Amino acid sequence: MKIVYDSVQKTFHLQNKNISYVMKIIKDGYLVNVYFGKKINKYNESNSIAYYDRGFSPNPDPLDRTFSLDTIPSEYPAYGNGDFRVPAFQVEQKNGSRVTDLRYKSHNIYDGKKKLQGLPSTYVEDEAEAKTLEIVMEDKLIGLTVTLMYTIYIDFDVIARSVSLKNNGEEELNITRAMSASIDYRESNFELITLYGAHINEKNIARRKLVPGIQMVESCRGASSPEQAPFLALVRSDTSEDSGEVYSFNFVYSGNFTAQVQVDQFSNTRVIMGINPSDFSWLLQKGEEFQTPEVIMTYSSDGLNGMSRTYHKLYSTRLCRGTFRDKERPILINNWEATYFDFNADKIKEIAKSGKELGLELFVLDDGWFGTRDDDQSSLGDWIVDKNKLPNGLDDLVNDITNLGMQFGIWFEPEMISEDSDLYRNHPDWALHVPNRMCTVGRSQLVLDLSRKEVCDYIIDAVSNILSNSKITYVKWDMNRHMTDIWSEASEPKRQKETAHRYILGLYYILEALTTKFKHVLFEGCSSGGGRFDAGMIYYMPQTWTSDNSDAVCRLKIQYGTSLVYPPITMGAHVSTVPNHQVGRITPLETRAHVAMSGNFGYELNLMNISQEEKEMMKEQIALYKKIRHIIQFGDFYRILSPFDTNEAAWNFVSNDKTEFVGMYFKILSEPGSSIRTLKFKGLNPDCYYENLETKKVFGGDELMNVGITVNIVVKDFISKLWRFKKTSRME
Ligand code: DGJ
């Protein structure tokens, strides 16, 4: 891994063993991107920019009609000085002008990677793991400096990018757009992959050919949202799961975002990603600096599985932090779908006791334990135990359950406030609202104004009061509505457009404080399921409830789509009852378990209502997951068959040393006359012999990958099969 500045060519070359990223300073200090892709040893301008007069493209130098910012592959394009494509940033000046002109000023290359103040970001544990390049660009007229930051890792094929804008001038500047990354490709022969969805239908995969103009995904919901994920990939038409080029972009941020791909009039492609400029601005007083969140760009020539393995490894080892990063996660039982709001201490203890008998490790008390919360109409904000439900208090319940030998976890929705709550009665101004306007409620609740420090500190105290001196070791952190009525009582009018971003900074401040204070607590993020399942949250919370949809068939797609970017260890996945509460489907318990075992495993059903036979099956499932979870949670994940393309799904998990693997196959609807399927596993050691732990038969890794294994026909809907293989020296 190295970053080389060639002072003759004026090029920056970031390189590790697989990828290269090259920029060049041209003409009077403009910075352009000249290459991103498979590693090259030395860049020597074989693809030099061809300049010629393009008629309608304006020229900064009146004597040179061949040079226009409208046609060059800019690295961080400005608005208003000749480039008519979508700009990477825009800054409003005191005289009303929005035009800027950035030129190269200086650069700095160093080992390691800096922390981004107040923001989640990938990190290094040793400076030798990465190198960082900072390029300072300057608009001399207004005293604006823009520092472009690039980190390349030795072991991950990514470029981590972010930008900081500083006002070194005399007059205040108003940032109205500040992308975290921008790149121009001198071609448009790509297809675009994005992730879209809705509540209980998260992370569907969309793939389409690029067309001229802008295609974009965004959120203006105040959270990264289930509607569109802050992710996009450009691929070739023949790119598959295992071969072909992928350029991808993922935002390490949990709020409003935009990700745009623009194919311009000359068939160049620009990609930008950053905070959504719609309803955003940020005032920079003299001397102040604004730091954007980070974008993780990857390049893979091994298709989408290659891209995913890069994200999985980076995120699980250098984005996720804390005690639980490298720890096997407990198998939990959650009472939400078992009881909803209708529980008392006895009911909870019965479920926990039965769970313990089955081998479950963690009991999670979901919504309804505080205030007078018998439905979703009240009490958010009043984090005080409801003595009607738990007459002996929370500690008594926690003690009873931990005495069983189980861990205890609890649900909060700290960012919200119910109008029917003491918190609201005492602090109505703490909710986001516009004076004299009616507030929009969502799930009968309002959103707390996390742009205010006193509100953040209240949340830290309220959650700390419950967690301090208690044996609680897990928190489910929920967030069940999106932001409206965005206005803050604490901000001056010209700063109101900062509120949505300040909210996210407030959220990160809270999470930093709580996860630092309660290092022994495992935090699981949730936003009505996967409504805020993003890289920003992974920095604070090592796992996320993937979807409120717990139906095994729907989950195949949801988990397949989520796995494009996020590793299985981050995906909360539970076995629930049938008929399923979200879609009414009846699927076999075995299939439900195999789907849930493909992530961070748990149960969410009333154990008092299940048969002895089912209990025996669950016992076996739990014992099995304990044997394979090190492979599922820390191994490599390979998608094999897509539920988006077929009536099937399949994937396999391979341990890091490739001595063990787990394969899974799912058939959704039974099909008459279908051929016998062989399934080819992926990522095995071709020179290793693996024993099928069920049949004891031994096969070479090469045979299992190239010939495949027979999947027997079962004449039923919704079937699944799980294989376990282990390295052996025996070969028959
Ligand atoms: C939405 C979550 O996604 C559910 O799992 C559950 O915690 C409910 N909220 C509780 O209100």
What are 122-174's pLDDT values in tens digits? 999 999 999 999 999 999 999 999 999 999 999 999 999 999 999 999 999 99
Distance 365 CA to ligand 1 centre (A): 11
- Of 653, 677, 652, 669, nearest to 719 by C-alpha is 669
pLDDT at 570: 98
444 dihedral zone (left: phi>0; alpha: psi -120 to 50; beta): left
pLDDT at 674: 79
Tokens read off for 594: 């195999």
**Rounded (5°) CA angle 256-414-368:** 125
DSSP structure class, residue 448? B
pLDDT at 463: 98
Question: What is the per-residue DSSP string for 469-531?
Answer: TS-EEEEEE-------S---TTS-GGGGGGHHHHHHHHHHHHHHHHHHHTTTPEEEE-BTBBT
CA contacts within 13 A on the Cβ side of 179 = 26
Considering all CA atoms of the chain, what is the largest pairwise distance in Å, rounded to the nearest integer? 86
Based on the residue annotation, tell me whether 478 is a catalytic residue of this protein: yes
pLDDT tens readout for residues 286-323: 999 999 999 999 999 999 999 999 999 999 999 999 99
Distance 367 CA to ligand 1 centre (A): 7
Q: Which of 478, 534, 551, 636 is catalytic?
A: 478
Residue 675: pLDDT band with limits 50, 70, 90: confident
Q: Is the dihedral of CA 624, 630, 634, 636 positive or negative?
A: negative
For a mutational test of ligand 1's pocket, the pick from 333, 411, 418, i.e. the residue with the most ligand atoms closer than 8 A to its C-beta, is 411
Q: Is 526 in the pocket of ligand 1 (CB under 6 A)?
A: yes
Distance 619 CA to ligand 1 centre (A): 26
Q: Whose CA is nearest to atom 1 of ligand 1?
A: 528
Spatial contact of 718 and 555, defined as CB atoms under 8 Å apart:
no
For a mutational test of ligand 1's pocket, the pick from 366, 370, 533, 547, i.e. the residue with the most ligand atoms closer than 8 A to its C-beta, is 366
Beta-strand pair 407-412/362-365: parallel
Helix (H, G, I), strand (E, B) or coil at 23: strand
Beta-strand pair 522-525/543-545: parallel
Spatial contact of 161 and 179, defined as CB atoms under 8 Å apart:
no
Q: Hey, which residues does 74 pair with through a beta bridge? A: 32
CA 616 to each of CA 301, 355, 359, 612, 681: distance values in angstroms, whole numbers, following the listed order: 46, 12, 11, 6, 30
The domain segmentation of the chain, as residue ranges, is: 2-318, 332-427+473-482+519-635, 648-728
Distance 368 CA to ligand 1 centre (A): 10
CA 673 to each of CA 670, 676, 719: distance values in angstroms, whole numbers, following the listed order: 10, 9, 16
Q: Whose CA is nearest to atom 3 of ligand 1?
A: 528
**Average confidence score pLDDT of the chain:** 97
Mean pLDDT in residue range 640-652: 97
Do 648-728 and 2-318 have the same topology in CATH?
no
Beta-strand pair 201-209/698-700: unpaired
Checking if the pLDDT of 500 tops 60, the result is yes
pLDDT at 61: 93
Q: Is 545 in the pocket of ligand 1 (CB under 6 A)?
A: yes
Q: Whose CA is nearest to atom 10 of ligand 1?
A: 367
Give the gyration radius of the chain's Cα atoms.
Answer: 27
pLDDT at 681: 98
User: How many whole angstroms separate alpha carbon 406 and alpha carbon 331?
Assistant: 10
Distance 523 CA to ligand 1 centre (A): 15
- Of 95, 207, 57, 269, nearest to 564 by C-alpha is 207
Q: Which of 302, 548, 551, 636 is catalytic?
A: 548
pLDDT tens readout for residues 321-330: 999 999 999 9
Q: Is 551 in the pocket of ligand 1 (CB under 6 A)?
A: no
- Of 329, 383, 399, nearest to 361 by C-alpha is 329
Nearest atom of ligand 1 to the alpha carbon of 528: 3
User: How many whole angstroms separate alpha carbon 527 and alpha carbon 504?
Assistant: 14
User: How many whole angstroms separate alpha carbon 451 and alpha carbon 498?
Assistant: 9
CA contacts within 13 A on the Cβ side of 667 = 19
Checking if the pLDDT of 203 tops 90, the result is yes
Residue 176: pLDDT band with limits 50, 70, 90: very high
pLDDT tens readout for residues 352-388: 999 999 999 999 999 999 999 999 999 999 999 999 9
Q: Is the dihedral of CA 684, 687, 692, 697 positive or negative?
A: positive
- Of 262, 292, 323, nearest to 86 by C-alpha is 262
pLDDT tens readout for residues 583-614: 999 999 999 999 999 999 999 999 999 999 99
pLDDT tens readout for residues 533-564: 999 999 999 999 999 999 999 999 999 999 99
pLDDT at 123: 98
Checking if the pLDDT of 730 tops 90, the result is no
pLDDT tens readout for residues 145-157: 999 999 999 999 9
- Of 554, 546, 607, 553, nearest to 574 by C-alpha is 546
Mean pLDDT in residue range 661-673: 95
Checking if the pLDDT of 732 tops 60, the result is no
Mean pLDDT in residue range 671-680: 88
Classify domain 648-728 at the CATH topology level.
Answer: Immunoglobulin-like (2.60.40)
DSSP structure class, residue 258? E
pLDDT tens readout for residues 4-18: 999 999 999 999 999
Q: Is 524 in the pocket of ligand 1 (CB under 6 A)?
A: no
Tokens read off for 97: 């002008």
Query: If residue 674 lies in a helix (H) or strand (E), which one and from where to where?
Result: none
pLDDT at 414: 98
Checking if the pLDDT of 469 tops 90, the result is no
Based on the residue annotation, tell me whether 534 is a catalytic residue of this protein: no
Return the CATH number of 2-318, one of 3.40.190.10, 2.70.98.60, 3.90.1300.10, 3.40.50.200.
2.70.98.60
Checking 403-408 for CB contacts under 8 A at 24+ apart, the result is 404/352, 404/353, 404/356, 405/356, 406/352, 406/355, 406/356, 406/360, 406/361, 406/362, 406/363, 407/330, 407/361, 407/362, 407/363, 407/473, 407/474, 408/362, 408/363, 408/365, 408/471, 408/472, 408/473, 408/474
For a mutational test of ligand 1's pocket, the pick from 333, 380, 480, 576, i.e. the residue with the most ligand atoms closer than 8 A to its C-beta, is 480
Checking if the pLDDT of 216 tops 80, the result is yes
User: How many whole angstroms separate alpha carbon 594 and alpha carbon 589?
Assistant: 9
pLDDT tens readout for residues 37-84: 999 999 999 999 999 998 899 999 999 999 999 999 999 999 999 999
What are the φ/ψ torsions at residue 501 (nearest 5 degrees)? -70, -40
Distance 528 CA to ligand 1 centre (A): 6
Helix (H, G, I), strand (E, B) or coil at 291: strand
Mean pLDDT in residue range 688-693: 98
Q: Whose CA is nearest to atom 5 of ligand 1?
A: 548
Distance 420 CA to ligand 1 centre (A): 19
- Of 489, 509, 380, 506, nearest to 450 by C-alpha is 506
User: How many whole angstroms separate alpha carbon 713 and alpha carbon 710?
Assistant: 9
Tokens read off for 695: 């049949």
User: Which residues have a Cβ under 8 Å from the Cβ of 635 and sit 6 or more positions away?
Assistant: 653, 654, 655, 656, 660, 661
Tokens read off for 217: 């995904």
Q: Whose CA is nearest to atom 6 of ligand 1?
A: 336
The CATH H-level superfamily of 332-427+473-482+519-635 is: Aldolase class I (3.20.20.70)
CA 349 to each of CA 95, 427, 522: distance values in angstroms, whole numbers, following the listed order: 67, 36, 21
**Cα distance from N-terminal residue to C-terminal residue, the chain:** 44
Q: How many helices (H) and strands (E) does the chain have?
A: 12, 38
